[in-house]
Structures are given as structure tokens and as C-alpha cells.
Amino acid sequence: MTTLLEVSGVSVSFDGFRAINNLSVQFAEAELRAIIGPNGAGKTTFMDVVTGKTKPDEGRVIWGEKNISLLGMSESEIAMEGIGRKFQKPTVFEDQTVRQNLAMALKNPRGPFAVLWHKRTKANGARIEAIAEQIGLTAQLTRIAGELSHGQKQWLEIGMLLAQEPRLLLVDEPAAGMSVEEREKTTNILREAAKTRAVVVVEHDMEFVRRLGCKVTVLHEGSVLAEGSLDHVTRNQKVIDVYLGRGHA
């Protein structure tokens, strides 16, 4: 198992309050991982640290086979390294079609490969269709994004992130506001996406996490409380006490 991202001994304080407390956690390439834990456990802050939005007070964040430190890098440099993030609220271009949204998101050529731009442009149509298929929006390609349902907008945004070909995709509470049917489709999209990249999903909905069928990390007070299969962590008495016993069973 090759480690793609290694977070080690990371702490983040806000006005003296330790939101992340000596956190160590690792993710493998092409791994699907769920992160659960009570409100305020530090799940979103963890994503803020990985994406460079928040700088930790101490610890290391090491990326890729070259063991690059992400800590000295800006948010855009980290995105260029192949780390994509989906926020809770969809941020698609509402007055553009689904196809136009995906076209805008396709990775632009950089540096010495810019000469391949012409070929890439031709290939874009096929890639847009492949992504639309992946996110179940083939029939919606010509529709204006603003007319899509909440779930469809979320899938479009996932598609726009996939268009950037991230090696790691961070997704914060994708199931919020979705119907049961939309949630099922979302788990399928994320499971499929995780076959070719690492996907880390923060989610409170236990049914959703069960359907992801992956390793689970439980965060509590900024540290890992338990880790393993969902059955393993849900049997852990500490997890029951701080989380599952409080309405998240």
C-alpha cells in the first residue's frame, strides 16, 4: 500500500482552543475513506489544513511519492499538486449548461505540454461525455445548471472536480439535503471515483457511510479516536459514548 498523504502530529489552535490536537492520519492511493465524528471534532479543519486554507501550529503534512511538504504551499499550489475539495454548498455556474460547466473545469495545459493543447481540445468532447456518464448527468448535458436539482448540482460539482483529475478528492458532507435516492447515487459516484484516486468523505449520515463500504476514521477533539471498518468502530465504546449514542446511530 503506497501512502499518498501523511498527516503527522498536526495541531491547530484558534484563540488557544485546540481544534486539531496532535493528529496523525494516513491515506493510501486510490483509497476510499470516511471520516466521522461529533460536531466540532475538527473534520472540516482537517480538510482546511490539507488544502492549505489553515496553517497548523505544528506537525507535518507530506504528499506523494516524493514526500513533498504541503505546509509551505499556497492553496492554489496544493490544488495544482492534485488535491481537489468539494465544499458543502454547490458552486456551479448557474447560468451555464452542464456541458459548459464541465468544459470550463477541464484541466488546462501547463508548461512544456502546452503544444498538446490542440489535441486536447479535440479530446475534450469525449472527456466531457465520459465525466457526464460517471456522474449520471448524460441526459442533462444541454440543461442550464441553475435548473438542476440540489443533488444534480452536487454531482455536477463532483464532475467538475473529477475533470481536474485530482489524485485526492476531499468531500465535506455530500449527503446533506439529498433525498434517499440521491444519496444512493452519490455513494456510487464516490465509490467509482475512488477506484482511480483517493477520496476522503466527511459525513454524519451513517447509512451513507455504510453504503460507502470503506475504512472509517473517527475524529474526536481533534484526534483519531478509532479507525477500521464501520462495524469495528461502531462497536467501540468510546465511539458510542462521544458520537453514536448522541443520535448518529
Ligand X SMILES: Nc1ncnc2c1ncn2[C@@H]1O[C@H](COP(=O)(O)OP(=O)(O)OP(=O)(O)O)[C@@H](O)[C@H]1O
Residues lying near ligand X in the complex (CB under 6 A) are found at 14, 19, 37, 39-45
- Helix ranges (DSSP H) in the chain: 43-50, 75-80, 98-105, 117-134, 150-163, 180-193, 206-212, 230-234, 237-242
Q: By C-beta, is 197 or 248 nearer to ligand X?
A: 248
28, 197 contact by CB (below 8 A): no
Q: How far is the CB of 239 from ligand X (least distance, A)?
A: 14
Segment near Mg ion (CB under 5 A); pick from 44-52, 97-105, 123-131, 163-171? 44-52
Contacted by 39, from ligand X, Mg ion, none: CB < 5 to 8 Å by type: ligand X
Q: By C-beta, is 45 or 51 nearer to ligand X?
A: 45
Question: How open is the CA angle 151-172-204, to the nearest 5 degrees?
Answer: 85
170, 152 contact by CB (below 8 A): no
Q: How far is the CB of 224 from Mg ion (least distance, A)?
A: 16
- Residue 220 bridge partners (DSSP): 223
188, 178 contact by CB (below 8 A): no
Contacted by 86, from Mg ion, ligand X, none: CB < 5 to 8 Å by type: none
Q: Does 44 bind Mg ion (CB under 5 A)?
A: yes
52, 5 contact by CB (below 8 A): no
Q: By C-beta, is 11 or 26 nearer to ligand X?
A: 11
- Residue 77 bridge partners (DSSP): none
Q: By C-beta, is 13 or 134 nearer to ligand X?
A: 13
Q: How far is the CB of 72 from Mg ion (least distance, A)?
A: 25
Q: Which residues bind Mg ion (CB under 5 A)?
A: 43-44
